[in-house]
Amino acid sequence: MARMKRIRIIARGRVQGVGYRMFVRDAAVRYRVGGWVRNLDDGTVEAVLEGESGDVDTALEAIHARGSSIIRVDAISVIPEPPVGENGFSIRR
């Protein structure tokens, strides 16, 4: 049985107003990860990624957005959380 994993991330850099939330959603869907993403008032982006451990790790690597000409992720803080059975992925306002 696959090990489930849930992480909360805070992304810093040029991550608001550049399509980063949609980028995170697309990566989560691509790697079969549940959760959500939203902008925070301080200019950072918060997201929760939950799924099989390897899928979460792959999605986390993808959301660094290396190679993007618009998005610039300077740092991602990762906080482990207990899995809650998150299904689907949403963009929160």
> Of the residues 8, 12, 38, 39, which is catalytic?
39
Question: Are 19 and 47 contacting, i.e. CB atoms less than 8 angstroms apart?
Answer: no
Round to whole Å and give the CA distance between 46 and 11. Answer: 6
Confirm whether 93 is a catalytic residue.
no
21 is catalytic: yes
Q: Is the four-CA dihedral 74, 79, 44, 69 of positive or negative sign?
A: positive
Residue located via tokens 């697309």: 26
Q: Choosing from 8, 21, 72, 87, which is the catalytic residue?
A: 21
Report the catalytic residues: 21, 39
